[in-house]
Chains A and B, each alone.
Chain A
Amino acid sequence: MSGRARVRARGITRSLGAVDVGRAPASPSATSVEPGDQEASSSSGLVEANIIPQWDKDSVCSGDSGQSHMERSMRMRRDLMDLEISTREKLAHVKDCKTGSSGIPVKLVTNLFNLDFPQDWQLYQYCVTFSPDLASRRLRTALLYNHSELSNRTKAFDGATLFLLQKLDKKVTELSSETQRGETVKITVTLIKELVSSSPVCIQFINIIFRKILKKLSMYQIGRNFYKPSEPVEIPQHKLSLWPGFAISVSPFESRLLFSADVSYKVLRNETVLEFMTDLCFKTGTSCFTQMCEKQLVGLVVLTRYNNRTYRIDDIDWTVKPTFSFQKRDGAEITYVDYYKQQYDITLSDLNQPMLVSLLKRKRNDNSEPQVVHLIPELCFLTGLSGQATSDFQLMKAVAEETRLSPLDRQQRLARLADDIQRNQVARFELENWGLHFGSQMSLTGRIVPPEKILMQDHVCQPASAADWAKDIRTCKVLSAQSLDKWLIFCANRAEYVIESFLSCLRRVGSSMGFNVGYPQIIKVQENPGAFIRAIQQQVNPEVQLVMCILPSNQKNYYDSIKKYLSSDCAVPSQCVLTRTLSKQGMMMSVATKIAMQMNCKLGGELWAVEIPLKSLMVVGIDISKDAFNKDMAVIGFVASVNPRITRWFSRCILQRTTTGIADCLKVFMTGALNKWQKTNHDLPARIVVYRDGVGDGQLRTVMEYEVPQLLSSVTKPSANTSSRLSVVVVRKKCMPRFFTEMSRTVQNPPLGTVVDSEATRPEWYDFYLVSQTASRGTVSPTYYNVIYDDNGLKPDHMQRLTYKLCHLYYNWQGLVSIPAPCLYAHKLTFLVSQSIHKEPSLELANNLFYL
C-alpha cells in the first residue's frame, strides 16, 4: 500500500539507517534515551561523572550511586553475551572448515581494523574495598592512586574494580591512607581474575579505552555513538545540521580482536525549544499557546549541548521558572540560573521561560519514584526529524544526499578516523600504555557466487542485472495464474475517471503475463471509511475472488478497516490502490504490471522460480514484531513453502502476549505447515531450512534453547519413521562489517552475490555474510547469516547458495531482496497484522500471499 513501507521492507533505503530519524514513538525503547544508551555512557564514565540537575519534589534519592555503578560496570554487553554460545562445535561437518568454494574470488576492503597485542598480554582485575566505606568515587580514586604501588602503573579504576596491566606482588594488598579530615581508611585490593584478551570482560574494557580515545579526539558521545560537533554539515534551507560521527566497537572475529567503525550522523535542528516556542506564540497568539505548545513539543527529543545528552520532553511545567531553586544531590538549594552559571558557565537570557520536564529511565528496578529532570528550553535543541519532516520529500532528499555516503566517501572517513587515532598524541599514549597497537585496515577475500536464472512458464531468462529483472521478463508468462472472473472494485465517487484506463491497462498486462483478468463489478461509494466498509459488507460474497479498493487518500483508517474486515471477519483477498497512483498516466503500465502481479499472488498464483537442486526441501521464514497498539503483544509471522519448487507458500500469524521477542507457538505453525506439505506432496519434506529474523542482541541463547526444540519436536513426529532434517539460520540485517571492492584506485560496492565466510566471521559460529541487494546511492550493507542448528549437513557452499537463491523469490519485487524471501514474507505479514489488523488473519487465506 504505502510505497515507502514497501521500499523499507525491501531494504533498499537501508543505507539511511545510520541516521537518527524521527520523533520518539510511544515505545520508550525506540527513543534515543534508551536504557542501553545510559548503560553505555555510564560504563564509559570510568574517569568522570556526568552531573545533571535533578529535581525531585519528594526528594526521594535513588540510593547511593557508588554501589549502582559497581553493579553496572560489570554488566556484559548484550552482543558479547551471544558470543558465549558456541554453536559450531556441535556441527560436525563445519568444525574444521565453514567456507564455501564456488564463485569467483574477489578482494574486499572492510571497515575493520587490526588490533595488535604483545604475545603474553594479560589484564589483572582487582576488587577494591574501603573501610570505612566511602560514598564519593572521586575520593576513593584519589586515595587509591596516591599509593606508590599504583602511581606509576597503567591502571583504570571505576570506584570498585581496578584493572592493571602488571600484576601486583601479592594476591591481597592492604593499604592505608588518611583523608583530609584526618580519617584513616583501610583499602584492600584483591586479585579476582587474570584476563586474556579474548575474555568478555577484557573486550569490554578495550571498548571503554576506545571510547575514551574518541573523546580525546574531541568527539562527544550521544547515545552509543560518537559525534563531532565541530564539523557540522549545515542544511540551512531546512534549518538542520548534521553532526558526523562514528559507531565503533571492538569485538572478537574469526582469528583475533578487531576494531570496527561505521559512519553515523546525528540530525539536529538549528533551533532551540525557546525559539520554537517564541515562534509558535507569534503564530498562534497567546490564547491557545500553552495547548499548542504542549501538542507540538511533548514527545520530541531534545539535545542539551552543554553535556550532549538527549532527553525526551514528557511534559512542560509552566509554573516553574529558571529563577526558582532546586535541591542538588548534596542537599544544597540553588537556582537554575546559578546552577548553569556555576556548572557550565552559561548565562540564561530569558528568566521567564517555563521548564521542560523529562522522565528519566529508572536505572534499577527498585521502587523509587520516577526521577524527573527539569530542562531549560533555551538550552535544548530539537533533534531528529518530526513526522511532518519525514514526509517532506525535499527535506529527506537533502538529508539523504549528505548521509548516504558512497563507498569512496565512507572509506575516506574511515581512513581519517584511523589516521586520527594513530596520530593523536594522547590517543597514542593511551593505547601504548595499555600495550595495544592500532593496525591497518583489514582486507579479505570473498567470493561472488554465480548468478541465478529465472524460470518462467515457457522461458528461462538470464537477467542482465539480478537487481531488477522487470525488463527481462516483461514478455514472459508467469508460472501459474488463476483466471480472475468475479471481482469487485470499490471506488470513491470522484475517482471514477481513473478506472476505465486503468482497467484496460490491467487487462493488457494481465494477458501478456498469462493472467486472465475479467471485468469487475464497479461500486461507487461515498468518500469515507464507513461507506467503504458498509459497501464491502453488502457486496462481498463467497464467489468473489478479489476485492479492489481505490482509496481517495492514504489515511490509515481506510486501509486498516478494509484490511481488518477482509482478512479476518470475511476472508477475501484484497488489493488497495490510491487514486493518486492511478492518475499518473505516464506510469500506468508499470503500475498496472506491479498490481497485476500482486493480484495474481493474492489469488494463489506463482510468478517465477529459480533452480533448486535439493528435492523435497521446505524453507521457512519467521519474523516477530510488536503490535502497534499494544506493546505487550508480539506478532509472530511464519511462512513456509509447500511445494518442492518453492513457489507456493503457507502463511500463518499469531499474536502472543510477551515482552520478549521469542516465539511460543512454533510447534503449532510447523505442524500445520507439515500437514499442508503432506497433503500436497503425499510425503513429508526430507529437509527443512528455517530462517529466523528479528533476533536481537543477547537473544541467541533463548532462540537456541527455546525455539529450536519447539521446531525439532514437531519435525520428529513419532508416526513417521523417517523424520525431516532441520536447519535453523538466524538472519540479521544489521551488522557491523561493511565490504567494498577495490577497483582502479577507487572503492565500490561489492557486486551482488558476494559471500564472505572468513576473517570477518566469528570462530564459534557457522556464519557468513551475503550481499544480495543493491544500493543505487550509498553503501550496501551485507546480511549476516548464522546457522545455529544444522541436521541437514549441507556443505557450507550449498547453504550459501541456497540462501542466495531464496533471495530471488520475493514476488513483490522483480529483483533480489536483502533477506531470503520467506523471511520477507513473514515480515510483510507481521507488518500488516501489527499495523492494521491487530488480530489473527483468517486461516482461509493461509494458502495465499494475501498480505503482499
Chain B
Amino acid sequence: MGYENDDSEQAHNDELPEEMETVVLDEPSTATISEALSSDSPSRVMSSRIPNSFNSFLQTPSSAEAVFRSFDGDHSHDGELNGHNSSGETSTSSALSTTEYLRISVSDPQKEQDFANSLVPGGNTYYTYLVTTRTNIPQFGGFEFSVRRRFREFVTLSDRLLEAYRGFFVPVRPDKSMVEGQVMQKQGFLEQRRVELEKYLSRLAAHPLIKRSDELRLFLQVEWKFPLVQTRDVASRMFDGAVKLPQQLFRETAGALDPKEASQPARVGSDLLRIFKELRQSVANAWGKKPAVVEEDEEFLDKKKKVLYLEQQLSNVSVQAESLVKAQQDMGETMGELGMAFVKLTNLETKEATYEFQIARAADMKYVATAAVKASRLYRELNGQTIKYLAKLHEYLELMLAINNAFLDRSNALLTLQTLLSELSSLSSRIEKLEAASLKVFGGDRSKIRKIEELKGAITVTEGAKDCAFKEYEQIKENNKSELERLDKEKHNDFLGMLKGLIVNQVLFSSLAVTCFMNF
C-alpha cells in the first residue's frame, strides 16, 4: 500500500541528521497517504467507508490533482451538470434499488429574431437556450428530448409553479437583469445566465413534487411556445381555488384539466366575475395595509423563527467561508511567488558558482523552491474543492428565498380567509338590516327585496369562495408542514455531507503538504 515514491522517501527519512526533531517522523503513519486518511484510533470503520475511487488513487503516483479529482469521482454523477449535485436522484443514505433520474442541461445559446411583436423593422432579437432532458420517469413517455426556450418562458414557468404549488418550497428562478441588447451579447452574460438556468431547472427536478408536475413536463417537452400569461395581479393568485369554483358549479368537472386549459385563464359568468372582482379588490386592499394576520399555530411560529435564524447563520458562515477561501488563495499565491524567487536564486547560485559552498546552498534553495511551488499548487486544488463543498451553503441560502415565499403564501391564504369571513359577516348584517327595514313596509319593499336576493346570491358565492379559501389555507398549511419535514431531513444529510467533504479535503491537503516539506 502506498505510492511509487514511497521507497525513496523512506530512504530519505533515514538520512535526516540527528539534531532535527523527529516530531513528524515518529509516527510512520503520516509517511503514506493511505494512513493519512485513517487515524490511529481503533475505529477502522472509517477506512472501509472511504469510497472505492479513493482507494484506487492510493496506487497511483501522488500528483496533487489526481488525488483531489479521484476523491471527487464519488460526488459528481454527471459531468454535464458541471459537477452540480442536484440531479434529481434520490440521494438519501437508504438507497433505493431502482433510482429514477431526471437530468436536465441547458446549452447552446442562440440568437433569434422575433418579427411578430416588434415595432422596429427587422424584429427584436433575443436568445434561446437548448433545454435537453434525460429521464426514466414514465410520465414523460420518452428517454431523451430537447426544446428551445427563451428567458421569458422560464419566467412563465416560474410564475405557473408559484401559483400551482403554494406553500411548497418552490425554487426561485434567476433574476431578470435589466440589460439592453448590447450587453446581452457579451459572452460572460450568456454563459452566466445559462449556468443559472441549468441550476434552476436542476433544482426543480430535485423537488419530489415539482419533478412530476405538468408545468415542468410541458416546459421540458412540448415544442410550442410556452405562452406568456398577462401578469395576473397578485390578489388573483390567491383565487385559484375560487376560480375553479364556477367551473365546478357549471360543469362539475373535477380532477385534472386539459393541459391546454391549464395555461389559459378560466372563463366565468359575468355576474360571478363581477363579484369575484370585488372580492379580489378587498383582499388586495387588505394586503395593501400591513396584514393583521394572527398566526396561532405555536409550532409553526417556532419553526419559522428557527428558519429565520438558520438563514442568518448560513449567511454569516457563507461570508466567513468566502474570506477563508480568499485567505487560502492568497497563501497559495504567495507561496508560489516565494518558490519562484527561490528558483531564480538557485539558478544564480548554480550558474555562477565559484565556491563549493554555493553548490550546497543552491541545493538547499532548490529544495525550498520545489516545496513551495508544490505547496502552492496544493492550495489551489484545496480551494477548488472547498468552493465546491461550500456551494451547498449557497444552495440553502437560495432555498431560504423559496421558504420565505412559502411562508408568505400561508399568511396570504390566512388573510384571504379572514377577509372573506369578514365579507360574509358584513353581507349578513346588511341583509339583516334590509330585512328589518323592509318589514316596516307593508307588502314588502320591492327594491329592497330585490337587493336582499342579490345579497343572498353574493353570500352563496362568497360562502363558496370562503370554503375554497379555507381548503386552500389548510392545504398550504399541510404543504408547509411536509416541506419543513423534508427540509429537516435533507438538511441533515446535506450538511453532514458538506462537512465531511470539507474536512476530508483539508486532511488530504494537509497530509500532502507534510510530504512536500518533509524530506529535507
Chain B binds chain A: no
User: Chain B residues in contact with chain A, CB under 8 A?
Assistant: none
